[in-house]
Structure formats: C-alpha cells, structure tokens
C-alpha cells in the first residue's frame, strides 16, 4: 500500500515536472520566435548574393501579418511557395491593416499586409521607410437586402443614405421601407475605400446603424435584415444579396480593370526597406504569372490580378491610364 | 538503528522541501511580474491618450460622440461605458433568478436529478466558446427579436440575453455552494415551526444566503463586463446611446475588438482604445473589491 502510494506520488510529481517543463519550454519558444525569425532572415540576407538565382537554396522564415481581407490569398500562395522552396517557412497572420503596418514598421514582421496605403495609417516619416508591393486589387459593391427594389444608386444617393439624409427606400426609387445601414467600423480599410471612392466624403456613425468588421457577418446581416444596405468585396457577392450598380455601372472585374467602376483599392504587402532574398522571392512569386493568371489563386479567390488593371492609382487617389 | 534510519529519510526530504520552495517562489514571481507588467502596459498606453495626445479626461468619460477618424478626431466614450454597464447588469438581472432557481432545484428539491443531470448541463454552458454564443445569438436571438419587436433585433436586449446564458454557470455554481453549506438546523427549525417548503426557501434560505448569492452575481457581472466577442456579434456596434433595448449600440469591449486591429500602434486612435481598456481594467478592480467586501460580510 505504502509502495503503491509512493509510486502514485512519484507519478504525480513527474507529471507536474513534465507539465512545468512543457510550459517553460513553450514560453521560451514564444520568446525566441521572433528572434529566430530575424536570425533566419539575417542568414538569408547574408546568403543573398550567392543564392539569388537558385531558388531551391533559399532559406529563412517570413512573418506576414495584417489585413484580414488579404490574408486568405497570402496564406494560399505561401503554401505553394513553401512547397517549391522547402527552406523557406512563411507564417501568415491576420490582425488588421493597422497591426500589419505597425509590425512591419517596427521590424516584428517581414511583410505587412494592408488594404490601404501606409501613408493613411502611419506617420509620414515611418511610412516613407516602407516599400509598397501591390499584389492584387479588391473592388467593393454596395449591396442591399433583396426586398428593397433598387438596383442602381448614384453617388449623391449613396451619400444621402450613408449620411442619414435619406432614410426610406422610396426616396431613391425603391419600396416604402426604412433604410438600415450595415457599416464597418470607422478604422476599417474597407470603409475607408468605400468612403473615399464611392462617397467621396467621410461619414459619421449614425444612431441605429449596425457596424461589423467581418465581411461574412455583414453579408449575413444585409441578407436577413429588411431594408439593409452595406458594402462587400466582389468575392463575397452571391444570390443572397443584391449588388447595386454605381452610377449605372455594374460592379464587375472588367469594369474595374477598365477604370469605369471606381470603388476599388490595392492590396499592399509592405516591407521595411528592400526585402531580403527569401522575402523578395516570395513577393515576386505573388505577382508572377502562375499566381496572377486567369486560373491562378488571385482570380480563384475573388481578387482582381494587378496585371489586368488598365488604370493606376496613387496614394492621393489620382487615377492614370 | 532507529537514528540512522531517520537520517536516510531526512536528507532527500530536505532537498524536496528546497526544490518545492524554489519552484513555488518562481511561479509566484512569474505571476506577479506578469500581472504588474500588464497593468503597467495598459495604464501607460491608456494614459498616453491624455498625456501625449492631449485628449481631455473629462471629454473622454462624458463625451457622447466617438469619431476617431474625424477632423479633428473626437473621443467620447460615454456610449460605450453606458453600453457595458447596461448589458452586463441586465444580463445579471436575467441570470440571477434563473441561477438561484436552478440551485434551489439542485440542492433542495431534487438533489439526485440535480446533481447527476442538471449540474453537468449547466457546467457545460461554461465550456462553450464565446464565439459559439455569439453565432447562436446572431442566428437565433437577433432574427427573433427583429420579428417580435420594433428595430433590427441587435442591441442591448440581444447582448444581455446572450451574456445571461454565459454567466449562468458562474451564478448557479456559487448559489449551489451557498445553499449546500447552509446549516441543516436552520431549515429543520423552520419546518418544525410548520413552515412549508416554499416559505422556508423564500423566508430562510434566500435571506441567509443572500451575501453569497450577491458574490456570484457580481462575479457574473464582472465576466459579462469583460466579454467581447459574443457581444460584438449581436449588439450592432453603433457608437451611440440607444433609445430602446432593440437599437444598435456598443460596449467598451466591442469597441476595442472592432478597431484594435485596424489602427496603428502609437496613433491617437489606437491610444484611445487603450484608454477604453484602462477603463475596463479599473472597473474590473472595482468589481473585485466589491466581491471581497461581500465575502467579508458573509462571515459575520
């Protein structure tokens, strides 16, 4: 009996010790994570001149964090890239455009994914240190609940709706139904894009409006709430909501590429200074023909390839052919 | 013979004692450092809104307008503070009677069924992830309220109903413990005087366990106050004090989770969110003090 008890105690003790060890090890691993990432990159940088051409010899670990709108694409492409370059490990995290830009600016991440130009979130001197890599385009369409009976809205009508001047659908040619706004939080990159290029003005948050950050939630609310209006990226559009024409122009990939549909934004992948070899190879792969062509990940996942764009836009919003 | 035997045993025990002490000390030190650095981090970030960005403390606490991206940005957090208090207190008002009744059922009315069936079920509620509560709220409660009441279904009512289910296990568990620890003599005395079961529960059990019940309720409010994800999904998130229970509004936590990722560290928009976090933390301290005060009263 005594022996048995002793054994049990020993077992318990060893269990506790194991647990404590695991905990401290995992903590240590957490602490070292960024360091090892940095070391890996330092190594990659050092090797850069010799390894630049032979992609199979690339090594290093890359942390890409930020925009949740861009995350699925980067995640998908990084998996393919890692299959081809076994020495490189890429971690993709969400967190939002602001987080991505902060982390790349402070050196915690090698790549900062963002829906907006860095100049719009960071101080001018910090933004100047970052190098912009535009990898895709995301277009947005105003969407309404299926029952409102409106399929076209002018810029002025949208402004009136989102500033609360118009509160009933019959005032813009629809049914006699109260308008319910499903907006994004004021800090959201999607909202910034929509306000800048669809409305042309910043709007206040109206009493009674709903705000959600996640596109899936916005779509669910718009499709279920009578009289609801919101905006979604083209990849989220389906039969459950009505995509509204903007000034008579359909929100389609072709119209965006031609520059006739203005509500779109670049998806950016920022690096601090020029990227090291592994990061550069990954960014090059992102904009390569394999990824950007009509069967590639960009199109498949609902983004618009950067190569397709016939117009260009700078941080101030000026469009050039 | 006996002496030598003792020594053999004593040496390893001394080592064990020492190892145990050092290990405990390291754990405690780690905990204390973590807690203090967290408090320091939140406080320094939260206070920099006022010190670095020059936002007025009074404006932040009593302002009704929240326009972080406006020109100039306006930070009035009163709608969030109002939202947090109203949802969590309403949640406690819904959950407290439920929790008490469940405890009475488990301890007084049907201990066997209660202990074997009901307690595990209620404890299971505590293990459901908050995102599941939020999603159920968004898919079931919000459409239901939309059909039954004027408004869009989102708002304080939906938020507090979801929260009520989340804090039910906390309240029930503490209420059950309080009822179980009640001296049997009290109830027996009551029955001996001819009181019915209902009279005994209502007149004897409830008043004597009230301080313990209050502890459970305050703990529940504290948990509801800090819950973010589930509330964010059903409350609507408009930064305004609502005119009804079914109008979109925000809480401190939902405002933080909604915008934290989108703002860059060090910007005034980000610091303002840390100030909200600081308010949350201070409120949690207040709840802890209330609980300690209630616990102290219980012993009298």
Please, which pLDDT band fits residue A33 given cuts at 50, 70 and 90? very low
Which two three-digit tokens encode residue B198? 């209902």
> Percent of chain A having pLDDT more than 70?
83
Amino acid B89: pLDDT? 94
Chain A partners within 8 Å of B259 (Cβ): 185-188
- Quickly tell me which residue has 């102290």 as its tokens: B296
The residue among A290 and B221 whose pLDDT is bigger is: B221
Determine contact: B229 vs chain A, CB below 8 A.
no
Amino acid A41: pLDDT? 40
The total of other beta-carbon atoms located within 10 Å of residue B41's CB is 12
CA distance A134 to A53: 23
Which two three-digit tokens encode residue B103? 């405890």
pLDDT tens per residue across span A280-300: 999 999 888 888 887 788 888
pLDDT of B15 > 90? The answer is: no
Are A111 and A182 contained in the same domain?
no
Are A132 and A146 contained in the same domain?
no
Cross-chain residue pair B263–A121, CB shorter than 8 Å: yes
Does any domain span residue A271?
yes
Amino acid A43: pLDDT? 38
Are A125 and A274 contained in the same domain?
yes
Determine contact: A230 vs chain B, CB below 8 A.
no
pLDDT tens per residue across span A166-187: 989 998 888 898 899 999 888 8
Classified as helix, coil or strand, A245 is strand
The residue among A45 and A118 whose pLDDT is bigger is: A118
Amino acid A47: pLDDT? 38
Out of A213, A237, A258, a domain closes at A258
The residue among B76 and A69 whose pLDDT is bigger is: B76
The average pLDDT across B74-89 equals 93
Nearest CB to A202: which of B69, B237, B270? B69
The average pLDDT across B96-120 equals 89
Amino acid B6: pLDDT? 56
Amino acid B9: pLDDT? 58
Are A173 and A253 contained in the same domain?
yes
> In whole angstroms, how far apart are CA A111 and each of A80, A117, A204, A224?
17, 14, 32, 37
Paired sense of beta strands A180-183 and A111-114, if any: unpaired
Are A190 and A249 contained in the same domain?
yes
Chain A partners within 8 Å of B68 (Cβ): 186-187
CA distance A44 to A54: 13
Determine contact: A68 vs chain B, CB below 8 A.
yes
| φ, ψ for residue A165, nearest 5 deg | -70, -35
For chain A, the maximum distance between any two Cα atoms, rounded to a whole number of angstroms, is 87
Are A171 and A312 contained in the same domain?
no
Cross-chain residue pair A98–B239, CB shorter than 8 Å: no
Q: How many domains does chain A have?
A: 2
| Alpha helices (H) along B63-204 | 78-104, 111-113, 119-127, 130-136, 142-148, 156-180, 184-192, 197-199
Helix (H) or strand (E) holding B282: helix B268-299
Please, which pLDDT band fits residue B81 given cuts at 50, 70 and 90? very high
DSSP code per residue over A104-140: HHTTS-SEEEESS-GGGTS-HHHHHTEEEEEEEEEEE
Determine contact: B154 vs chain A, CB below 8 A.
yes
Amino acid B279: pLDDT? 94
Are A110 and A142 contained in the same domain?
no
Classified as helix, coil or strand, B33 is helix
> What is the average pLDDT score of chain B?
88
pLDDT tens per residue across span A230-273: 999 888 888 899 999 998 898 888 888 888 899 998 999 999 98
Residue positions counted in chain A:
321
Does any domain span residue A40?
no
Nearest CB to B143: which of A98, A185, A224? A224
> What is the average pLDDT score of chain A?
80
Please, which pLDDT band fits residue A110 given cuts at 50, 70 and 90? very high
Out of A238, A258, A278, a domain closes at A258
ipTM entry: 0.76
Are A161 and A237 contained in the same domain?
yes
Amino acid A34: pLDDT? 39
Angle at B134 between CA B117 and CA B142, to 5 degrees: 105
Angle between helices B156-180 and B78-104 (to 10 degrees): 40
Does any domain span residue A3?
no
Start-to-end CA distance of chain B, whole Å, equals 54
3-state DSSP of A52-81: CCCHHHCCEEEEEEECCCCHHHHHHHHHHH
Helix (H) or strand (E) holding A17: helix A2-51
pLDDT of B206 > 50? The answer is: yes
Amino acid B280: pLDDT? 93
Which two three-digit tokens encode residue A133? 């890599």
pLDDT tens per residue across span B232-250: 989 988 898 998 889 899 9
CB A182 within 8 A of CB A230: yes
Which two three-digit tokens encode residue A18? 């194991």
Chain B partners within 8 Å of A97 (Cβ): 261-262
Chain A partners within 8 Å of B264 (Cβ): 98-99, 101-102, 105, 121-122
Cross-chain residue pair B248–A211, CB shorter than 8 Å: yes
The average pLDDT across B85-100 equals 94
Residue in B61, B45, B64 with CA at minimum distance from that of residue B273: B45
Out of A237, A258, A279, a domain closes at A258
Cross-chain residue pair B265–A102, CB shorter than 8 Å: yes
Amino acid A53: pLDDT? 41
Does any domain span residue A316?
yes
Lowest mean pLDDT among A13-27, A218-232, B92-106, B275-289: A13-27
Which residue of B236, B251, B261 is the best one to mutate when testing the A interface, meaning the one whose CB has the most A CBs within 10 A? B261
Does any domain span residue A32?
no
What residue numbers bound the domain in which A194 lies?
A: 138-258
The average pLDDT across A120-139 equals 88
Amino acid B295: pLDDT? 81
Instruction: List the beta bridge partners of residue A320.
Output: A312
Does any domain span residue A28?
no
Are A178 and A231 contained in the same domain?
yes
Which residue of B250, B262, B269 is the best one to mutate when testing the A interface, meaning the one whose CB has the most A CBs within 10 A? B262
CB A104 within 8 A of CB A130: yes
B150's CB contacts (< 8 A; 6+ apart) are B244, B246
The residue among A56 and B72 whose pLDDT is bigger is: B72
Q: Residue A122, Cα to own-chain centre: how many angstroms?
A: 17
pLDDT winner (highest mean) among A135-139, A231-235, B159-163, B197-201: B159-163
Chain B partners within 8 Å of A98 (Cβ): 261-265, 267, 270
Amino acid A1: pLDDT? 40
Does any domain span residue A220?
yes
The residue among A46 and A306 whose pLDDT is bigger is: A306
Are A149 and A123 contained in the same domain?
no
Q: For position A96, which CATH number holds?
A: 3.40.190.10
CA distance B228 to B164: 14
pLDDT tens per residue across span A62-76: 999 888 888 888 988
Are A130 and A167 contained in the same domain?
no
> In whole angstroms, how far apart are CA B191 and each of A55, B176, B196?
86, 21, 7
Residue in B266, B278, B279 with CA at minimum distance from that of residue B41: B278
Are A239 and A171 contained in the same domain?
yes
The average pLDDT across B280-284 equals 92
A229's CB contacts (< 8 A; 6+ apart) are A142, A143, A144, A145, A148, A161, A179, A180, A181, A182, A222, A244
CA distance B59 to B275: 12
Does any domain span residue A187?
yes
- Quickly tell me which residue has 């694409």 as its tokens: A73
Please, which pLDDT band fits residue B162 given cuts at 50, 70 and 90? very high
Chain A partners within 8 Å of B267 (Cβ): 98, 121-122
Which two three-digit tokens encode residue B218? 């305050």
**Residue of chain A whose alpha carbon sits nearest to that of B232:** A212
Amino acid A145: pLDDT? 92
The residue among B172 and A3 whose pLDDT is bigger is: B172
pLDDT of A99 > 80? The answer is: yes
């Amino acid at each position: 009996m005594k022996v048995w008890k002793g054994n049990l105690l020993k077992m318990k003790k060893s269990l506790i010790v194991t647990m404590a060890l695991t905990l401290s090890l995992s903590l240590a691993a957490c602490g070292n994570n960024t360091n090892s990432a940095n070391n890996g990159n330092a190594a990659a940088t050092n090797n850069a001149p010799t390894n630049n051409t032979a992609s199979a010899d690339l090594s290093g670990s890359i942390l890409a964090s930020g925009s949740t709108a861009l995350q699925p694409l980067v995640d998908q492409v990084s998996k393919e890239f890692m299959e081809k370059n076994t020495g490189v490990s890429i971690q993709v995290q969400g967190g939002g455009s602001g987080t991505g830009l902060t982390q790349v600016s402070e050196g915690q991440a090698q790549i900062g994914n963002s829906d907006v130009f860095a100049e719009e979130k960071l101080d001018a001197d910090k933004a100047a240190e970052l190098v912009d890599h535009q990898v895709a385009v995301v277009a947005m369409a105003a969407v309404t609940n299926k029952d409102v009976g409106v399929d076209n809205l002018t810029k002025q009508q949208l402004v009136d709706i989102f500033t609360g001047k118009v509160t009933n659908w019959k005032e813009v040619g629809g049914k006699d139904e109260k308008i319910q706004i499903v907006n994004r939080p004021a800090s959201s990159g999607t909202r910034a894009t929509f306000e800048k290029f669809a409305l042309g003005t910043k709007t206040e948050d109206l009493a009674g409006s709903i705000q959600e950050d996640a596109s899936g939630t916005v779509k669910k609310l718009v499709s279920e709430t009578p009289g609801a209006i919101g905006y979604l990226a083209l990849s989220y559009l389906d039969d459950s909501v009505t995509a509204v024409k903007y000034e008579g122009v359909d929100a389609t990939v072709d119209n965006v590429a031609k520059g006739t549909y203005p509500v779109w934004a670049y998806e950016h992948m920022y690096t601090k200074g020029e990227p090291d070899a592994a990061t550069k190879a990954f960014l090059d792969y992102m904009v390569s023909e394999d990824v950007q062509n009509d069967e590639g990940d960009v199109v498949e996942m609902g983004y618009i390839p950067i190569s397709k764009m016939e117009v260009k836009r700078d941080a101030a919003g000026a469009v050039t052919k | 013979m006996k002496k030598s035997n003792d020594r053999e045993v004593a040496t390893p025990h001394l080592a064990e004692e020492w190892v145990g002490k050092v290990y405990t000390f390291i754990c405690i030190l780690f905990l204390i450092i973590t807690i203090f650095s967290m408090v320091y981090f939140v406080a320094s970030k939260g206070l920099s809104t006022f010190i670095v960005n020059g936002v007025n403390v009074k404006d932040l606490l009593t302002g009704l307008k929240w326009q972080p991206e406006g020109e100039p940005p306006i930070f009035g957090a009163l709608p969030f503070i109002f939202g947090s208090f109203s949802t969590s207190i309403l949640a406690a008002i819904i959950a407290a009677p439920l929790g008490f009744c469940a405890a009475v059922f488990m301890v007084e009315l049907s201990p066997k069924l209660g202990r074997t069936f009901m307690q595990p079920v209620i404890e299971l509620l505590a293990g459901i992830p908050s995102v599941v509560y939020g999603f159920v709220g968004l898919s079931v409660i919000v459409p239901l309220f939309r059909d039954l009441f004027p408004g869009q279904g989102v708002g304080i009512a939906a938020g507090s109903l979801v929260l009520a289910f989340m804090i039910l296990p906390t309240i029930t568990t503490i209420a059950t413990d309080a009822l179980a620890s009640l001296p049997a003599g009290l109830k027996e005395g009551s029955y001996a005087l001819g009181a019915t079961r209902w009279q005994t529960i209502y007149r004897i059990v409830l008043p004597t366990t009230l301080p313990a019940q209050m502890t459970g309720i305050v703990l529940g409010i504290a948990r509801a106050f800090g819950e973010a994800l589930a509330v964010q999904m059903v409350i609507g998130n408009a930064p305004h004090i609502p005119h009804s229970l079914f109008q979109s509004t925000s809480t401190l936590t939902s405002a933080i989770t909604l915008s934290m990722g989108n703002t860059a560290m060090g910007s005034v928009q980000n610091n303002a969110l840390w100030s909200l976090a600081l308010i949350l933390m201070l409120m949690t301290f207040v709840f802890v003090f209330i609980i300690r005060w209630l616990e102290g009263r219980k012993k009298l």
